Structure 1
């Protein structure tokens, strides 16, 4: 793509442009490294000092930083610089012309019974099995597997290596062996969902595993059978959700979160990284269960103490009983 003017960007995306509208922009770059022909953004007020040192041709800023930004050069003022940046990347990529074209790559294997909207794209070496439905303008990356009877809505993005509709982990014990429970459900995915690379979403055992519209999943996430995820919930890398759990709408799960099976998380629940959720959360809010790291030698000392917690608890209870008995004996003497 040839360089474009700031005027073209503002005309396409809005915002208040201050400075020379004819400045040519050749790329989008980070605040710290942006050059004289590049546009950048400031969304974190803690980085405002970088406004003085950045060489960027234009900075996208919040109204609170507008005066400082104008003092250094051209800027676009908007209420949400990060959102503006996101819109800019989408617009920029479309102008570059490197969005996948609609259609099915010749190396993809697609079952004749699969229904793929003609505006969708299916990448190289992907496998689409019988009964699959893929909606309009959905993009399926390379080496994606979508197994039988799964449904994917419109405008979804499935990144390379994802597996949708693999068997859930279900077995019954017979003596010392395991008997497989055939997974007879499917996966239903709503509109505008994004699924990261190498993420796995298991099909339901009887009913369906369901991701509502607007869900965003990072790479290397495991969604087990019969899980339900509410609208616009987002999960970062390496999250694991056990079977039959219900995650509410507008939730966020940071990297490495684990959620046990057969529980529910309320709408607007936010879980900090590496936390393990072992019971239902009925109230919205932020939940954290990560023990802070520390030097190894100190961690060993604290771990040794933790191993003694039950003994310490029992000892404290015993002391409390002794103290209560002593107080009971002393009180009558004081009254007399």
Structure 2
């Protein structure tokens, strides 16, 4: 038996829920298919109910409704098995704490203020007048330019770049390769010289508490005002957020999404993967944008929006695409037929029934 273990009763005491069955000793949390007698797993998708029945897991996290199909098993009953699973997983895999100290290869500007409890990894570069709070981890190869402020308990993974003047709240996590505060895409066309003139980007990026930014995501600094990501926003890998944008609190943005400059996304909204959102738009709170959806105008009412065709065979897609190209022509023909029908009936096509 592993030295580090939890019991089912201890989980319920700490996290809530109702324990039904034996008090099993648990050594790990894993999938329904891989779980063994000292493992805990969960069922949140009813489609996987047969997998749960066949699972050898010692304990299953389920809803009251799902429990009926699992008579005789040790269960933890909860309203939200997926959330409960996440909390159990954190108990088995606690956050790594900062190991205070500065690696000899790190380059720290003399005016930088770094809390003694921070962990500064190999080849880190920290610029002048930066302030880094307690228990923050800055891992290998990261560059933090001058005048940045970083809060407590942050984790900045390897090879992150934070440009000058940016601000991070507490418990922010930045994954490898992300770039915070690069110049926004701002250029004015010079007719006389027949070339682009770069607009100075004088704002910064401000990230609120508990923001999580995925690998290789880029958030541009503001042109004049700041680009802001509010508390508890979760942004996936390879997302691009343009200058002067505002991402509300508790927003979730899935991978490969692009959001052009000066667009505001309201609190609690969810943006599906590979969505493309134009600039100077407003998306109200609690709005969901489906994956690969193109948003070209502001949304006035919260709701679920999507604009991509579902998967179909290529030959069917070709036929449908051919019809789409002629939609305007078909519309004109329908209007003409409606006009002719109205004349035959002795009524105007503009009259309503």
Same fold (TM over 0.5): yes
Q: Contact 2:21–2:72 at 8 Å: present in 1 too?
A: no
Which residue, 117, 126, 129 being the options, matches 1:113? 129
1:62 partnered with 2:80: no
1:33 aligned residue: 34
Q: Going by fraction, where is helix more abundant, 1 or 2?
A: 1
Matched, 1:17 2:19: yes
Cα RMSD between the aligned structures? 1.8
* 1:3 positional shift: 4.1
Q: Distance in 2 between matches of 1:54 and 1:3?
A: 23
Report the counterpart of residue 332 of structure 1 in structure 2.
none
SS at match of 1:32: coil
Query: Which deviations, in whole Å up to 9, do the C-alpha atoms of 1:254-274 show, x marking residues without a partner?
Result: 111111111101111011111
Displacement of 1:25 in angstroms is: 1.8
Match in the other structure for 2:229 = 211
Q: How far apart, CA to CA, are the structure 2 residues paired with 1:219 and 1:298?
A: 33
Structure 2 unmatched runs, 5+: 100-117, 348-353
Q: Where in structure 2 are the equivalents of 1:44-123 lying within 5 Å? A: 44-69=45-70, 71-94=71-94, 98-101=96-99, 102-123=118-139
Q: Which residue of 2 aligns with 1:334?
A: none
In 2: Cα distance, 1:108 partner to 1:326 partner: 81
Question: SS at the partner of 1:76?
Answer: strand
* Counterpart among 157, 177, 196 of residue 141 in structure 1: 157
1:280 aligns with 2:281: no
For residues 198-239 of structure 1, the C-alpha deviation after alignment (integer angstroms, 9 at most, x for no partner) is 110000000000011110101110000000011101111111
TM-score, normalised on structure 2?
0.87
| Partner residue in 2 for 1:160 | 176
Question: Which runs of 5 or more residues in structure 1 are unaligned?
Answer: 330-336
Give the match for residue 297 of structure 1: 315
- Give the one of 226, 247, 252 matched to 2:244: 226
- CA–CA distance in structure 1, aligned partners of residues 214 and 269 of structure 2: 17
Q: How many residues are matched?
A: 325
The 1:314–1:98 alpha-carbon spacing in structure 2 relative to 1, beyond 3 Å, is same
CA distance in 1, matches of 2:129, 2:190: 37
Structure 2 CA distance, aligned partners of 1:8 and 1:318? Answer: 74
Closer/same/farther in 2, CA of residues 105 and 263 from structure 1, 3 Å limit: same
TM-score (norm 1): 0.91
Distance in 2 (alpha carbons) for counterparts of 1:225 and 1:297: 41
Deviation at 1:107, TM superposition (A): 1.5
